[in-house]
Amino acid sequence: MEREDLAVHLHHLADAKCVAEALGQDDDAVEPSDQGWTVSVVQSSRELPEILSALHACLAENDIRLVRVTIDGSTYAMEAQPAD
């Protein structure tokens, strides 16, 4: 199965570093972008559902409300539900 190109777009550097760490990426994966910061994800042996699940858990645990995720050129929004 071919690997998808995956990037997570965030507004704040601290959030981008947190996401990079949660997804097992080095600080080199975090780059400035027009609207904030982008984390480029190297998937290695992890499958896409596992990566997205880890991302969602990171958002919920760190109170990051919304990110944009680009997969193979298509962009989606991922929102963490607020904790009760």
Residue 2 pLDDT > 60 = no
pLDDT band at 81 (very low <50, low <70, confident <90, very high): confident
* 81 vs 83, more confident: 81
Quickly list DSSP for 23-68.
TT--GGGEEEETTEEEEEEP-TT--HHHHHHHHHHHHHHTT--EEE
d(CA 81, CA 29): 26
* 82 vs 72, more confident: 72
The share of the chain scoring above pLDDT 90, in percent, equals: 74
Residue 29 pLDDT > 80 = yes
